[in-house]
Amino acid sequence: MALSQKKHARGQLCIPGGFTVLSIQFSSDTVAQHKLYVKEHKVRAERSSHRPMDRTLFVLNIPPYCSEDVVKELFSQFGSVHSVELRDHPGSSQESGPKLSTFFKPLTKQGFKVGYIVFQNASGLSAAKSHPHNVPLVVCTEQRPVQTGVQKWIQKYTESFIQPDNLQQVIDAFMRDYDKRKEEEEERQKKEAEQQQEDEEGWVKVTRGSKGAKARPHSEKANQKTLQKEMRKKRKKELMNFYTWQHRNTQKEHIAELRKKFEEDKQRIALLRAQRKFRPY
């Protein structure tokens, strides 16, 4: 069943899902055209600053001969492009972990891509969406040549040779970044341990974390220590008051201790009163 299509007055071709059709052709000499499907990127679950909703264009069906640089040059005619990201499938904007160099990135699959194009201004997004579908964008020009076929294979083969000096610089930069992140993590853990350290009476200082994070009054170590202390108190209490005569003796000892403390307080009060007597000489 064919998808229903709508034509707008300005020459736009829209398809279901809110996508607009953009036509491209490899060069001005070719007759065949390729269709791109574009729409404004709107994902509520994604709160990343890398893809602002009012300036990001979501593109489907990007051909394999269009690299990120080629796509950036192609869409720059609509406005200044901030960044271009090509992926095999739609997904989150950034992976967790350090950014890898081109030497250590896994090989990408050769096929059609999806793209996220971030413009400097929202006007670039509107211009790309309103471009007429019957006016194709030319990929390969004299100012912007795009290699394909055997020439592209030769170029990739030449670029596959890694210069030792360049590789050493990349490794050194990666290790410096790794050491820096390691030191920051150790410093953060040290500060957290100091903030959540118990004082002499067993109290734990409650501190507020970063913005949006809930304060944690106890660390895992402090929780285990408190739990062990409570278990010891409970075990001691159960052993002391297990039998009736133990409970009775405990009460007698408690009463005797209170009486002893009462007598000591009486003596202390009498001594204080004696010291307050008036002595003129």
What value does the mean pLDDT take over residues 232-245? 70
Last residue of a domain, one of 116, 150, 184: 150
Q: Could you read off the pLDDT of 50-62 as tens digits, one per residue?
A: 788 888 899 998 9
Dist. CA 145–CA 131, nearest whole Å = 23
Q: Are 16 and 3 in contact (CB under 8 A)?
A: yes
| pLDDT reading at 2 higher than 50 | no
| pLDDT reading at 209 higher than 70 | no
**CATH number, residue 125:** 3.30.70.330
Q: In the numeric block, which tokens belong to residue 103?
A: 């030497």
- Within this chain, do residues 234 and 146 fall inside the same structural domain, yes or no? no
Measure the CA angle with vertex 140, ends 137 and 145; round to 5°. Answer: 150
3-state SS class at 182: helix
| pLDDT reading at 95 higher than 60 | no
- Within this chain, do residues 128 and 21 fall inside the same structural domain, yes or no? yes
Q: Could you read off the pLDDT of 144-183 as tens digits, one per residue?
A: 777 777 877 787 778 777 788 888 888 888 888 888 989 9
pLDDT in the model for residue 161: 78
Number of domains in the chain: 2
Please indicate, yes or no, if residue 51 is contained in any of the structural domains.
yes
Task: Write the CB contacts of 129 (distance below 8 Å, at least 6 apart in sequence).
Answer: 12, 20, 38, 39, 40, 57
Question: Counting Cβ atoms within 10 Å, is residue 124 exposed (0-12), middle (13-18) or buried (19+)?
Answer: buried
Please indicate, yes or no, if residue 172 is contained in any of the structural domains.
no
Compute the mean pLDDT over every residue in the chain, rounded to the nearest whole number.
Answer: 77
Going by the DSSP 8-state scheme, the letter that residue 198 receives in this structure is: B
Residue 241 belongs to domain spanning? 230-273
Last residue of a domain, one of 134, 150, 166: 150
pLDDT in the model for residue 262: 93
HEC string of 129-156 equals: HCCCCCCCEECCCCCCCCCCHHHHHHHH
Report strand pairing: 19-25 vs 137-138. parallel
- Within this chain, do residues 121 and 251 fall inside the same structural domain, yes or no? no
| pLDDT reading at 66 higher than 70 | yes
Q: List the single range of 17-26, 113-122, 150-159, 237-246 with lowest mean pLDDT.
A: 237-246
Please indicate, yes or no, if residue 168 is contained in any of the structural domains.
no
CA 176 to chain centre: 21
- Within this chain, do residues 142 and 252 fall inside the same structural domain, yes or no? no
